[in-house]
């Protein structure tokens, strides 16, 4: 029996930086995914100042889920996440944060519960604002530039066409398991995604 919590996911946060300059950058892979979910399930994002970001509500197989794109820039993401979670009384283990992951190749996407922030400013701020790390993460592989000093320029750059296509395919796979995620069937979702 797996030790993962079986709560269903009620809030999906896509991490990214607001504004057209950042839209196509690797660091915005989390935004890309929630944009796709909104489109697929007929929702649209609207700005909500009390949540410091853009919010969308979707229904999937009769289950309601909030999608959030913080409008605060990456290193202040926690302000947005905590204000929405508090308002709708959403628990830490009912939150899934989609973010770019340097330690995975483009085309790879992994589901993970808990853990540290591995230097990711968005995750770091959410852990701090929420007072805990026990939330789900959708880690979207973007690869590592090979040199720690190059990371900032790399994540704020655009993927090559080949990498971009690989990331899109991975996001497709993650999109397909959304019904499982919203039902708390994480093992099933992982098996489907990780074998893809």
- In the chain, where does DSSP find H-type helix? 29-40, 77-87, 121-130, 151-155, 161-176, 178-182, 186-194
| 73 annotated binding-site participant | yes
Continuous segment of H or E residues that includes residue 109: strand 109-113
Q: Which of 50, 91, 92 is nearest to 70 (CA)?
A: 50
- The CA-to-CA distance between both ends of the chain, in Å, stands at 23
Identified catalytic residue from 27, 52, 99, 120: 27
The span from the CA of 196 to the CA of 86, in Å, is: 35
Is residue 27 part of the annotated active site? The answer reads yes
Measured between alpha carbons, how far is 157 from 22 in angstroms, rounded to an integer? Answer: 8
Q: Any binding-site annotation on 121?
A: yes
Kind of pairing between the strands at 95-101 and 11-14: parallel
Diameter of the chain measured on Cα atoms = 46
Q: What does the alpha-carbon distance between residue 128 and residue 82 come to, in Å, rounded to a whole number?
A: 10
Catalytic positions are: 27
Q: Which residues are annotated as a binding site?
A: 22, 73, 75, 121
Q: Which residues are annotated as a binding site for tRNA?
A: 22, 73, 75, 121
């Amino acid at each position: 029996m797996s030790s993962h919590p079986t709560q269903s996911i009620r809030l999906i946060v896509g991490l990214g930086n607001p504004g057209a300059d950042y839209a196509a950058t690797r660091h915005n892979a989390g935004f890309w995914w929630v944009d796709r979910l909104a489109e697929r399930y007929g929702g649209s994002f609207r700005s909500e100042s009390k949540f410091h970001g853009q919010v969308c509500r979707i229904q999937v197989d009769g289950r309601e889920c909030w999608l959030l794109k913080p409008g605060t820039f990456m290193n202040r993401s926690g302000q947005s996440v905590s204000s929405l979670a508090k308002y709708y009384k959403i628990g830490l283990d009912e939150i899934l944060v989609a973010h770019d992951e340097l330690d995975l190749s483009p085309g790879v996407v992994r589901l993970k519960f808990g853990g540290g922030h591995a230097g990711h400013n968005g995750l770091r701020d959410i852990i701090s604002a929420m007072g805990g790390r026990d939330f789900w993460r959708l880690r979207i592989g973007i690869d590592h530039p090979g040199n720690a000093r190059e990371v900032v320029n790399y994540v704020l750059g655009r993927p090559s066409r080949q990498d971009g296509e690989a990331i899109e395919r991975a996001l497709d796979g993650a999109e397909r398991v959304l019904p499982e995620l919203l039902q708390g069937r994480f093992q099933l979702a992982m098996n489907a995604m990780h074998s893809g």
